[in-house]
Amino acid sequence: MLLELQNIVAGYGSIMALKGISLSVPEGSIVSLIGANGAGKSTTMKTIMGLVSPREGEIRFKGKPLAGTKPYQVVHEGISLVPEGRQILQNMSVEENLYLGAYQRSDKGGIAADLKKVYDRFPRLEERKKQFGGTLSGGEQQMLAIGRAVMARPELLLLDEPSMGLAPIVVQEIFDVIKDINGSGTTILLVEQNAKKALQIADYAYVMETGHIVLQGKASEVAANPQVTAAYLGGKK
C-alpha cells in the first residue's frame, strides 16, 4: 500500500469531522472518495497533508508514519495536494505559479523538463505563461493548480473537487488529464462530488457519510450498489 489511513479521528475544535476512518491507496491506482457536503472528504485530504493533525489513528505513506508531520515535510515525502478552490497565486504569472510547485526541488534540468511536460499537457497555460494567475478562467486555473502540484513530481497526487464550478466540457478535459497523469505512474486519490465521473475513472472507491466510511470496494461494484445509485447517481440506471 502506498498510503494507509487507520482509524483516523480528526476535526476542528470540539467538532469531529472524521470519526475513525480507514482507507488505503494501492500504488499506481486511482482511488475516489465520494460523499455529500460535510461528509469529511476535504478534512481527510487536509489530515493527510498535515494541515489538520489527527487526534487518533495512524497515517502511513510507503510504510512510514506520517501523522504529526508539517505540510512542507509531507510534500517532501512525495505527496501533493490540488486544493479545493484551486488557490492560485493571483498576482503571480502562470509560470511563477508553476515554478512554485517545484520549490523543494533543485534539479534544474528536471524542473525544465517537467515544465515542458505541463505545457505539453496544457497548451493553454503555455500561451498564457506571462499572464497573472488571477486573469485565467476557472478551468485554466484548475489546470494551473494541477500543473503546480505535478511540478513537485509527487508519487501520490491528491485532488480535492477538481471539477467544482467548471463547465461540463472542461470537466471532461480535467478528468482526461487525471487519467493521463495516472497513466504516467502517479497514484491518485480523488475527492469528488461528481460521483459518476469519479467512479468511472477510479479503480477503488470509498463512500463517506458524516465522518464515517459507509461503503468501499472496486469502483464498478460501488457504482452498481443500489444505495449509491439512489443517493449519488440520480436514481435508476
Out of 7, 72, 168, 196, point to the residue binding another protein (CB under 8 A). Answer: 72
Window 141 to 180, contacts with another protein (CB under 8 A): 148, 152
Could you tell me the sign of the dihedral formed by the alpha carbons of 17, 158, 226, 232, in that order?
A: positive
Lay out the site mask for another protein across 104-133 (x = CB under 8 A, - = otherwise).
x-------------------------x---
Report which of 117, 87, 111 is spatially closest to residue 99, judged by C-alpha positions.
111
The residues, any chain, with a CB within 8 Å of residue 46's CB and separated by 6 or more, are: 52
Closer by beta carbon to another protein, 17 or else 150: 150
Q: Which set of grid coordinates corresponds to residue 134?
A: 488571477
Closer by beta carbon to another protein, 121 or else 148: 148
User: What SS3 state is found at 201?
Assistant: helix
Q: Over the range 146-181, which residues count as b (16 or more CB within 10 Å of their CB) and which as e? A: bbbbbbbbbbbbbbbbbbeebeeebbebbbebbeeb
2 binds another protein (CB under 8 A): no
Out of 87, 131, 216, 225, point to the residue binding another protein (CB under 8 A). Answer: 87
- Choose the stretch contacting another protein; rule: CB under 8 A; options: 89-97, 112-120, 189-197, 216-224: 89-97
Q: Contact residues for another protein (CB under 8 A)?
A: 49, 51, 70-72, 75-76, 80-81, 83, 87-92, 96, 99-101, 103-104, 130, 148, 152
